[in-house]
Amino acid sequence: MLQNIIKSRLVSEMTEIFFVKWILALSPIVTVMVLMIYGNWSGSRAGAAGWFVALTAATLGFGAHPRLVAYSQMKGVLLSLNVLYIIWAALFLYHVVNETGAIKAIGTGIQRFSGDKSIQILIFGWIFASFLQGVAGYGVPIAVVAPLLVGLGFSPVVAVAVPAIGHSWSVTFGSMGASFQALMAVSGFDSSFLAPWSATLLGMTTFLCGLFAVHVYGGWKMIKHSLPAILIVGTTMAGTQYVLAVSGMWTLGGFGASLAGLLSGLTVARLKIYNQTPASRLQSEMGLGWALSAYFILVVVVSAGVMVPSVKTFLGQVRLSLSFPEITSLKGWVVPAGEGKSINIFGHGGALLLYASVIGYWVYRAKGFYRTGAMKTIVAKTIKSAVPTSLGIVTMVCFAMIMDHCQMIYILAEGISRAFGPFFPLVSPWIGLLGAFMTGSNTNSNVVFGVLQQQTAQLAGLSAALILAAQTTGGALGSMIAPAKILVGCSTVGLSGKEGPVLKATLRYGLLITGIVGVVTLLFSYFA
C-alpha cells in the first residue's frame, strides 16, 4: 500500500518536472510567436529575441555551457549558408529578369489568352503566382499578381487573397527548393527519402489551392465552371512536381511544375467553354519567348548540373565543411561528433542559379533590354530584398540550433508524442502551418520545427518522411495566412493598414486545407 502511494507520488512529481521542462523548452517558440503575431515584430527581430530566450532557458534548465553554444552557432551558420545561397541567387535571378520588364511582359502575354474571369483567376492567381514562387518567392508572387488582378477589374481584397491561396502549394519546391533544402539540412535526410511523400501531399494541395482560389471570387458556381481546367492543369502541375522532385531535380520542382501548368493553362484557355468573353489585346514590347528566356536557360543549367554525371562530379569537387567534436551538456545530453552541413560551392542549387542569372543577363544585354547602370540596380535591389529575409533565417536557425543541442527539441517532441500518441499525424501539418504563420516562411518553419517533427515521429514509431512531408506541406500552406506576406500584397494594392479582410478571407481556406492534409496524413500513416 505504502509502496504504491510512494510510486504514484514519484510518477506525479516526475510528470510535473517534465511539464515544467516542456514549458521551458517551448518558451523561445512562444516568444517568437507572441512577438510576431501580437507585437507585429519582423522575423529577424523576433528571431533575435527568441535567441536570447533560448539561451536563457538552455542555460537555466538544460545545462548549456559556452562551448556547447559556440559549436551550435557554427552549425547554425553552416545550415543558414546552405539556405541563403539559394535565396540570394534566386532573388538575383528574379531582378535580372524583372529589370528588363520581362515579368510585366509575361503578365501581358497571359492576358491575351482569355477574357473568362475564372480562367484569369486560375492563370494569374494560381499558375502565374506559382511560377513566380518557383523563381523568386519571399512575397513576390502576391506583390506582382495582386496589382495585375486589380488591373483586370478584381476587388483589392480578392486580388490579394487569390494569389495568396493559389501559390501556396508551390512554396516548398519553389524558390529553387529553398524550403526543401532547409528540411533536408535540419533532418539530415536526402531528397530521395523526403521527396516522394512531400510531393504527394503538396500535389494534393495543388488542386485544393486552385479550387479555393476560384471560390474566393465566385463561390461554388464558379468552381463548377472551372473544374475541368483545375483538373487538367492541377494534374499537370502536381504530376510534373512529383516527377521532378523524386528524380533529384527538386530545385526545379515548383518552377518546372508551374511552367508546365502555364503551358497547359494557356491551352485550356483556348477551349470553347472558356472563350465566351473577348480577350485583352494589349501588346508588350518584349515577346513571351524572350521574357521567359532566362528561365529556359535555368532549366538547361540545372538539368546539366543535376542529371549529367560528369558535370555534377566536376562541380562537386569543392566542398566547405567543418568537423565538430562530441560535446555533452551539463545535464548529460550528448551531441555526437561529426561534420556540420557541408556546402557544395560550385554544384549547389544556388550556384546553378547564379550561372543561369549571369548567362541570362548577357543574353538580355546583348538584345538591348537593359538601360545603362542596370547591373547596379539589380545588385542593389537584390541586397535590399535579401537582407531582411536572411537576417530572419540566421536568427531563427541559430536559436533552433541552441534548442537542438540542449535536448529542448527532444523534450518538446517527447511531450507531443505522449499527448497525441498515434494521432500525431493529424497535428503534424498544423505545427508546420503555425511555424510559417509566425515566421512568414516555410523555410523558417522547417528549420524551427523540422527536427521536432522528425524526433516526435521516431518516438511514436511513425514514418519520418511522411511526418516531415506533413510539416513542410503545413509550412507551405502557412504562406497564405502569414501576416508578413499578406502585408506585402496589401501594400501593392493600396490596402495598407486594412489587412484584416484579406486575412479573414485566406484564413478559412488555409485552416480547411491544413485540416484535410492532417486527415490524409493520418490515413497514410496507418494504411499506406
Residues that bind other proteins (CB under 8 A): 42-45, 47-49, 51-52, 55, 66-67, 69-71, 73-74, 76-77, 80-81, 322, 325, 383-384, 387-388, 390-392, 394-395, 398
Residue that is written with C-alpha cell 497535428 in the block: 427
CB of 67 to other proteins, least distance (A): 5
CB of 397 to other proteins, least distance (A): 10
Comparison of 55 and 400: residue with beta carbon closer to other proteins: 55
Dist. CA 55–CA 340, nearest whole Å: 21
Comparison of 15 and 321: residue with beta carbon closer to other proteins: 321
CB of 440 to other proteins, least distance (A): 13
CB of 272 to other proteins, least distance (A): 53
Please report, to the nearest 10 degrees, the dihedral formed by the alpha carbons of residues 137, 138, 141, 144 taken in order: -120
- End-to-end alpha carbon distance in the chain: 47
CB of 173 to other proteins, least distance (A): 26
Comparison of 42 and 108: residue with beta carbon closer to other proteins: 42
- For residue 159, the cross-strand partners are none
Angle between helices 2-37 and 483-492 (to 10 degrees): 10
Dist. CA 172–CA 180, nearest whole Å: 6
If residue 339 lies in a helix (H) or strand (E), which one and from where to where? strand 338-339
Mention every residue, 6+ apart, whose C-beta is less than 8 A from residue 69. Answer: 55, 58, 402, 405
If residue 104 lies in a helix (H) or strand (E), which one and from where to where? helix 102-111
CB of 66 to other proteins, least distance (A): 5
Grid coordinates representing 188 are 539530415
CB of 117 to other proteins, least distance (A): 41
If residue 517 lies in a helix (H) or strand (E), which one and from where to where? helix 500-527
Grid coordinates representing 167 are 501559390
Comparison of 139 and 518: residue with beta carbon closer to other proteins: 139
Measured CA angle at 53 (ends 48, 56), to 5 deg? 125
Give CA 17 to chain center in angstroms: 36
Q: Amino acid identity, residue 50?
A: G
DSSP for 448-475, written as a single string: HHHHHHHHHHHHHT--HHHHHHHHHHHH
CB of 76 to other proteins, least distance (A): 7
Comparison of 74 and 271: residue with beta carbon closer to other proteins: 74
User: Taking Cα atoms as reference points, which of 459, 373, 476, 465 lies closest to residue 420?
Assistant: 459
Strands 319-320 and 343-344: antiparallel
CB of 361 to other proteins, least distance (A): 23
Comparison of 55 and 144: residue with beta carbon closer to other proteins: 55
Comparison of 438 and 493: residue with beta carbon closer to other proteins: 438
Mention every residue, 6+ apart, whose C-beta is less than 8 A from residue 185. Answer: 79, 82, 83, 341, 447
Comparison of 36 and 436: residue with beta carbon closer to other proteins: 36
CB of 332 to other proteins, least distance (A): 19
Dist. CA 361–CA 354, nearest whole Å: 10
Comparison of 37 and 307: residue with beta carbon closer to other proteins: 37
CB of 387 to other proteins, least distance (A): 5
Comparison of 237 and 482: residue with beta carbon closer to other proteins: 482
Comparison of 218 and 388: residue with beta carbon closer to other proteins: 388
Measured CA angle at 323 (ends 319, 327), to 5 deg? 155
SS3 helix, strand, coil % of the chain, rounded to 5?
80, 0, 20
Comparison of 68 and 161: residue with beta carbon closer to other proteins: 68
CB of 46 to other proteins, least distance (A): 8
Question: Does residue 142 contact residue 485 with C-beta atoms inside 8 Å?
Answer: yes
